[in-house]
Copies of this chain bind each other. A is one copy, B any other.
Amino acid sequence: MIEIPDDHPRAESLRIRHVMEKGYMNRIVALAGLIAHGRGEAFDYIIGEKTTPPALKSIEAALSMIKLAKYPVFSINGNTAALAPNEIVKFAEISGIKLEINLFYRTEERIQAIKKHLLDVGAKELFGISDRKAQIQELSSNRRFVDKDGILKSDVILVPLEDGDRTEALRKMGKIVIAIDLNPLSRTAQWANITIVDNFLRVIKLFIEKWPDIEKKSESELKQIVRNFDNKENLREMIKYSIDYLNKISNKGIYIDEVLNFGYKIRI
């Protein structure tokens, strides 16, 4: 692995990239997962790499729904496990959400690597790792396999960085789906009941931070939060947020003063 120059203007983003690359080296992340991470980087870029007000609203609705759920399950894939193993385990611990390892590129080697990665940071119970599997008939990909005591039994599923086909199939099975997806146009973002358009790492940290407030609320308050949440309206606001961000920049075209001072026009 090559050293990141300290003067690189995107050093922080590069450091997270290296966490993902290390995840691949440890068999946790799939090659396609690295490409997916890049897509996320780009969508994060056009919201200014910050949690936006509409994202905060969807986070509150998501946590309320998880608190109201009888059997909530958190679907873990390679990227999420690599990015925030401690936070995933911590959130499961405080909220009681079940953890199921569920992979698009499912191999026994990756399942075992992710299992070890999560057990190492203190995970107590993990679904999706034994041969207790059932099939979701609607899907043709490998993720048709779900644990019969995990996702199959759940009423509410938290799916970060998920495949669109699968989100659709889960909805059609009658599940309530909460997605974390930086792309508000993705089929997952569209099919979910509650879509959090934000960076997974920021979201899981906010989940932990905000959980005590959620625990203080009454059932009727939580239900009111969920009923008042409109995913369609929220997605509209999220996309508007990117538009406003791009608008600010597009008025200038070239917005880096040093470039304008140095000049870009070709004199021939």
Contact = CB atoms under 8 A, between A and B. Distances in A.
Contacts of A239: 246, 249-250, 253
Q: In this complex, which of A38, A256, A265 has the most chain B Cβ atoms within 10 angstroms of its Cβ?
A: A38
A236 to B, nearest CB: 3
Interface of A: 2, 5-10, 17, 20-21, 24, 31-32, 34-43, 45-46, 65, 68, 105, 140-142, 164-165, 171-172, 176, 183, 185, 187, 190-194, 223, 226-227, 229-236, 239-240, 242-243, 246-247, 249-256, 259-260, 262, 264-266, 268
Contact of A231 (B183, B194, B254, B262): B254
Nearest to A10: B164
Given A45-B183, A183-B45, A268 B39 contact: no
Contacts of A223: 268
> How many copies of the polypeptide does the oligomer hold?
2
A65 B266 CA distance: 9
A31 B41 contact: no
A189 to B, nearest CB: 9
A41 B34 CA distance: 12
Contacts of A35: 17, 20-21, 34-35, 37-38, 41
Contacts of A21: 31-32, 35
Given A34-B34, A192-B264, A235-B254, A9 B164 contact: yes
6 contacts: A9-B187, A36-B38, A46-B185, A232-B264, A236-B252, A243-B247
A222 B222 CA distance: 66
A214 to B, nearest CB: 15
A266 B174 CA distance: 11
Q: Is the interface of A mostly helix, strand, loop or mixed?
A: helix
Contact of A38 (B2, B40, B247): B40
B264 A45 contact: no
Contacts of A68: 268
Contacts of A230: 265
Given A41-B35, A43-B42, A253 B233 contact: yes
A264 B140 contact: no
Contacts of A36: 38
Contacts of A235: 250, 253-254
A266 B24 contact: no
Shortest 3 CB-CB distances between A and B: which pairs?
A38-B38, A236-B253, A42-B42
